[in-house]
Amino acid sequence: MTTSITPRFPAVHVRLSGQDGNVFLIVGRVRRALVQAGATDSDVKSFMDEMMTAGSYGEALQTVMRWVEVS
């Protein structure tokens, strides 16, 4: 069963496929997209805090998908 979860910022789209998979580059891309979309400083800080607690690459990707649309 697949569960669809709407990200916190569904209008923010970040392309990850075909890009460098380095987690730090991914974090930077998502952070920049949030800022450009008008996310508050508090929202961006919450995203960064959550990313810093991810214990693995997979958890980091799941966190990104909870925040923005990913392709």
Split into its structural domains, the chain has a count of 1
Residue type (1 letter), 42:
S
Each of the 71 residues of the chain gets a pLDDT tens digit; together they read 455 689 999 999 999 888 778 999 999 999 999 999 999 999 999 999 999 999 999 999 999 999 999 99
DSSP run (H or E) holding 68: strand 68-70
Residue at 1 is within a domain: no
Asked whether residue 5 is assigned to any structural domain, the reply reads no
pTM for the whole structure: 0.88
**Residue 60, domain member (yes or no):** yes
Which structural domain range is residue 42 located in? 12-70
Count of CB atoms within 10 A of residue 65's CB?
Answer: 15
The answer to whether position 4 is within a domain reads: no
